[in-house]
Amino acid sequence: MPRMEKRGKRVLVTGASRGIGRAVALELAAMGFEIGLNFRSNEAAAEETRAASEAAGGSAVLLPFDVADEPGARAVLEAEVEERGAFWGVVLNAGITADGPLAGMSSSAWSDVLRTNLDGFYNVIQPLMLPMVRLRDGGRIVTMGSVSGVVGNRGQVNYSASKAGLMGATRALAREVGKRRITVNCVAPGFIETDMLSGLPGEELAKLVPLKRLGQPEEVAALVGFLFSDKAGYITAQVLGIDGGMT
């Protein structure tokens, strides 16, 4: 069955307990991948995603750690690779915001966002890179950017910087590992209806979008699923917008 083409391959999805990460985990589980399901603190939500991933036809193990914590992430990931084998793919999705104008921005709002969204790239992908290469089976890495990293967004100097940095890291890594048949791409969503937008005026945001609506996590997950399919094997070093026409 086409939906089961990836049976036996392992994929790590960071920030998979809720929102876009959860939808991505379910999409990849339905393709037959074995999911390593990372989250930071919301174990109940992660457990729901695990159960839903199994119902979708895949399997999933919970891997709680903070992507901003370099030694902590490395310890969990190295132990996991040692126990169950290398990951064939990674979706670097975990991310946070701490919005406000730069003039009033605290240093912790700056550094928390950069440490999670950008340092997370090194903390998660570096320990997994060599084991992935040693599989000698190609591979897939998708990072979660943002329209904010493409065009910049008022009140998000920290977040825009972190996502623009992520795009640079993505393009550079793609060039390093292309000869290994590992593709590395960035998906850059616009406004997607998740907890991250809670408290923001959805109807007002929708007016800024040419398609006049917010996106759904499942729509982003479908794009990630395509990038993980064999059909996407010639796409690498790209930033793919999924933003209702905002960019």
User: Residue from 67, 91, 128, 161 that binds ligand NDP (CB under 6 A)?
Assistant: 67
158, 105 in Cβ contact below 8 A?
Answer: yes
Question: Residue 96 interacts with ligand NDP (CB under 6 A)?
Answer: yes
Q: In the numeric block, which tokens belong to residue 13?
A: 């999805």
State yes or no: is 122 an active-site residue.
Answer: no
Question: Residue 45 interacts with ligand NDP (CB under 6 A)?
Answer: yes
For residue 4, the minimal CB distance to ligand NDP (Å) is: 26
In the complex with ligand NDP, the residue whose CB is nearer, 26 or 96, is 96
The footprint of ligand NDP on residues 173-212 (CB under 6 A) is 189, 191-192, 194-197
Q: In the numeric block, which tokens belong to residue 3?
A: 């939906």
For residue 154, the minimal CB distance to ligand NDP (Å) is: 15
In the complex with ligand NDP, the residue whose CB is nearer, 135 or 151, is 151
182: nearest Cα among 224, 152, 137, 218: 137
Question: Residue 144 interacts with ligand NDP (CB under 6 A)?
Answer: yes
How far apart are alpha carbons 118 and 162 in whole angstroms? 5
How far apart are alpha carbons 245 and 191 in whole angstroms? 11
How many helices and strands, by DSSP H and E, does the chain display? 9, 7
User: Residue from 17, 156, 160, 170 that binds ligand NDP (CB under 6 A)?
Assistant: 17
Question: Residue 53 interacts with ligand NDP (CB under 6 A)?
Answer: no
Which whole-number Å values give the CA distances from 73 to 42, 128, 237, in the listed order? 17, 11, 25
How far apart are alpha carbons 12 and 29 in whole angstroms? 11
User: Residue from 32, 76, 93, 129 that binds ligand NDP (CB under 6 A)?
Assistant: 93
Q: In the numeric block, which tokens belong to residue 120?
A: 């997370």
How far apart are alpha carbons 74 and 246 in whole angstroms? 36
Task: Give me the residues paired with residue 189 across strands.
Answer: 242
Question: Residue 39 interacts with ligand NDP (CB under 6 A)?
Answer: yes
Part of the chain binding ligand NDP (CB under 6 A), chosen from 4-12, 55-63, 64-72, 170-178: 64-72
**Catalytic residue of the set 33, 159, 191, 228:** 159
Helix (H, G, I), strand (E, B) or coil at 146: coil
Which whole-number Å values give the CA distances from 60 to 10, 49, 131, 205, in the listed order? 9, 9, 20, 35
How many positions of this chain bind ligand NDP (CB under 6 A)?
Answer: 31
Question: Residue 121 interacts with ligand NDP (CB under 6 A)?
Answer: no
Question: Residue 146 interacts with ligand NDP (CB under 6 A)?
Answer: yes
Question: Residue 236 interacts with ligand NDP (CB under 6 A)?
Answer: no
Question: Residue 50 interacts with ligand NDP (CB under 6 A)?
Answer: no
Report the length, in residues, of the chain: 247
Q: Looking up tokens 């390593």, which residue turns up?
A: 36
For the annotated catalytic residues, the residue numbers are: 159
Summarize as ranges the residues that interact with ligand NDP (CB under 6 A): 14-21, 38-42, 45, 66-68, 93-96, 116, 144, 146, 189, 191-192, 194-197
